Amino acid sequence: MGAQLQEKTEADVLVLDPRRLNPRRRWLLGAAGVVVVIAVGAALWMERASSSKALVPLADRTSVPLVSVVVPGVQPVSTQVLVTGTIEARHDLPIGDAGAAGRIDDVYVQVGDRVRKGQILAQIDVSVLVPQVNELVASLARARAQAALSAAEYRRAVAIGPQGGLSVQNIEQTQATAAMDAANVKVVAAQLAQKRADLALTRVVAPVPGIVLTREAEVGQVASPGGPALFTIEDGGRIELVGQVAEQDLSALKVGQKASVYLVGYARPFPGQIWLLGATIDAQNRLGQVRIALEPNPALRPGAFAHATIMVSRAKRPVVPQTAIQSDGAGTYVYIVGRHDRVERRMVQLGNAIASGVVVTRGLTGRERVVSLAGGFLQSGETVKVTAQSTRS
């Protein structure tokens, strides 16, 4: 058995010996070796290329930034100033009790009623004053009768004279009595006039025509001079919007400019006109005051929130996307792509925002290539590659 194993081993050795192979097998074995060598070399080259790529700095492998630009052109735009505030009466008059203290017997008006000058708003109790007036009326009648009697006696004394047995002293005494009775008539008449005036003051009346804005008077309430106002009346029905406007916009406004005032819940605007501009700027919020006169309208209720737009100019301006606007401590700017595709920083002044973007009032002609997106990642002087460009007109 050992002899058989030895023969098999030698046979195997003979088969693997290339010199003992036939030419065709020898050629196949050589080709397989070449393929193995090529595969090993390719693997080694890819590994070395990968290693060398990992060693290259990131900055050397970064490509030129790609940006999208827009050529805004110019388009007709209107510059508007926005004013926000509340509706108020131009002159609101507080009305209270001008006479003696008393209980309110009747109230004749409600909030929102339009009243005429002299119309009675409320009636204060007159139960004390009426008897006093009646008493003075009687006193005045008595005084007048006494004065008439004294005057008649004086006339008779003068007619009789010293020849009739009256002394000069008696005549002068009669004259003095007549004068005192006449003066008493004037005193009582003055007292009566004062009481009648007090009686008139128990009627709380409207001093001017207008609309009742507030009513604090209630039946049974005690009103007194110097107390809280019983009513507030809008003088003449004149209404205004008292609003605030940004400091930089105040210089563009002038008295007489037209305004469109909008109220919550009303689609159509109410026409108005600037009649007063504030003389100062609030140091805290940098806002100035604007007063816009409005035509009387039941919808314009004092206290309502409102905003107004005021047209200050119409012109052709560049309009850029909101995403193109950048700002820092130096101001507001955009990036434009100049010669040789280099980024340039351009300071701009902005107007109001419209549906298509932001109006640029200064800094652009509209022919520049403005970076419309990702300007915050660029630096002035950097070279970029423009990937997309659109033109607005």
**Does residue 16 surpass a pLDDT of 50?**
no
When pLDDT is cut at 50, 70 and 90, the band that residue 45 belongs to is: low
Q: What is the SS3 assignment for 86-131? A: EEEECCEEEECCCCCCEEEEEECCCCCCEECCCCEEEEECCCCHHH
Mean of pLDDT values over 47-53? 50
pLDDT band at 192 (very low <50, low <70, confident <90, very high): very high
Put the strands of the sheet holding 114-115 in their side by side order.
92-95, 231-235, 210-215, 114-115
- Top pLDDT among 13 and 76 is at 76
* Per-residue model confidence (pLDDT) at position 158: 84
| Of the candidates 102, 149, 144, 109, the residue with the CA atom closest to the CA atom of residue 126 | 102
- For the segment 205-253, what is each residue's pLDDT rounded down to a tens digit? 999 888 888 899 999 999 988 888 999 988 776 889 999 998 888 888 9
Read off the amino acid at residue 40: V
> Looking at residue 383, what DSSP letter applies?
B
Three-state DSSP state, 4 = helix
Q: Lowest mean pLDDT: which of 40-44, 105-109, 176-180, 235-239?
A: 40-44
CA–CA separation, 260 and 273 (whole Å): 8
pLDDT at 55 over 80: no
* pTM metric for this prediction: 0.52
Place of tokens 């590659």: 385
Has residue 121 got a pLDDT over 90?
yes
